[in-house]
Amino acid sequence: MTKSSNSRNKTEQVWIDRLLASEGATSVLVVVLGILSGTLIVALLGKNPSSLFKAIWQAFVGYYNKGKGAWSIGPLGDTLTYAIPYVLCGLSMGFANRVGLFNIGAEGQYTVGMLAAHAFAVCIPAFPGQWLFCMVVAVLAGSIWGGIVGILKAKFKISEVVATIMLNYIALYIYRLVALYLFPAGLTNRTYRTADLASTSILKGVFISESNLNIGFFFMILAVVVYWFIMEKTKLGFSFRATGFNKDAARCSGINDTQAISLSMAIAGAFAGLAGACVLLGSLKFGRIMQGQDNYGFMGIAVALVGNSKAPGIFLAGILFGALRSAYSLMQFMNIPREVVNIIEGLIVIFIALRAGLGKVQEYRAKQRIKKVREQEAAK
């Protein structure tokens, strides 16, 4: 390899590295813009904007409880509890996105995972370690639900967006039918609750007794590590990423793109199914009849996009969205409408869409600079 070609390759790599670094910087900018916009809205409502920042800060570190005369870290526990389904559903969306798919069906996969865990916790007599089996069946159910979409996409070229949207509603109403007519009835209003879950199926709390933080947090951490390892360190992950970059080129290189698409959606569904089990067994702790979608799957889309579909980014974005959700009640104490959080979340999603356009501009500029370097090298 000549000296000039080495120089050209180094220059190209510099611009590529700059482009990748700009993605992370843009994600931070997106979040900052969303919060600043929320601050402006609070000011327009005649409230103190500093209260918004105070509520978000307390969601991360807690606050001093004057009544008890001690520091309360309950809000931090709530932040981490909310982050569990956000991160797991973000992993579901992000995993499919790395393979070139748009998994808008994490909500349905989350729902069938919750249904499977619910059935195992209500219909199976209690036994030690039942919670672990509940989580396993939830992962399998979510995987099957996601795998259906993967097969439809890979074999029959059916849009995964259309298929997942339809399956979201199918999952919701299957849950309602099963809970209403097949699960044992609870002692309370039959419209909302089924029989109580087996006590051995409930996830144990950890760290912070003032919140619902439970061992599902550790499963979430494990899921992040598994996501990173599969996608970044395995041959299978390489085939996923290659398919996402260019399916036709991957096929010509000997990669089975049909298998990659099917399997990736199954794995994505497994993450969302685990989220459903964690919410039911760790946060709700009772058998319920779903009145509507919980929207964790849809929020997972925003989490994945903010996190650039990378494991560390999704984890941090999930914590952020968990903090915003935890700040709901804190804002009410400060006389700030909690709907402001929904507005901030919505604005972040809007700015994400704008970021995609900005990313295209940055990518174009990087390519033009690389092209210019090549032309200069060729002229020498």
pLDDT one-digit tens code per residue, 228-275: 999 999 999 999 999 998 888 888 889 999 999 999 999 999 999 999
pLDDT at residue 12 in the model = 47
pLDDT at residue 16 in the model = 46
Q: What are the backbone dihedrals phi and psi of residue 214, each rounded to the nearest 5 degrees, phi first?
A: -140, 180
pLDDT at 13 over 70: no
Judged by average pLDDT, the poorest of 43-47, 173-177, 276-280 is: 43-47
Q: What is the mean pLDDT of the chain?
A: 87
pLDDT one-digit tens code per residue, 75-95: 999 999 999 999 999 999 999
DSSP state of 72: E
* Average pLDDT rounded to a whole number, residues 178-190: 76
pLDDT at 10 over 60: no
* Average pLDDT rounded to a whole number, residues 129-149: 97
Residue 151's pLDDT band, with cuts at 50, 70 and 90, is: very high
Domains present along the chain, CATH in parentheses? 1-45+337-380 (no CATH), 75-334 (1.10.3470)
Which residue did the predictor score with more confidence, 364 or 256? 256
pLDDT at residue 117 in the model = 97
Name every residue whose Cβ is closer than 8 Å to that of residue 368 and which is 6 or more positions away in sequence: none
pLDDT at residue 190 in the model = 61
pLDDT at residue 15 in the model = 46
d(CA 64, CA 289): 37
pLDDT at residue 191 in the model = 66
- Amino acid at the residue 71: W
Closest CA to 287 of 110, 174, 137, 121: 121
Q: Residue 335, SS3?
A: coil
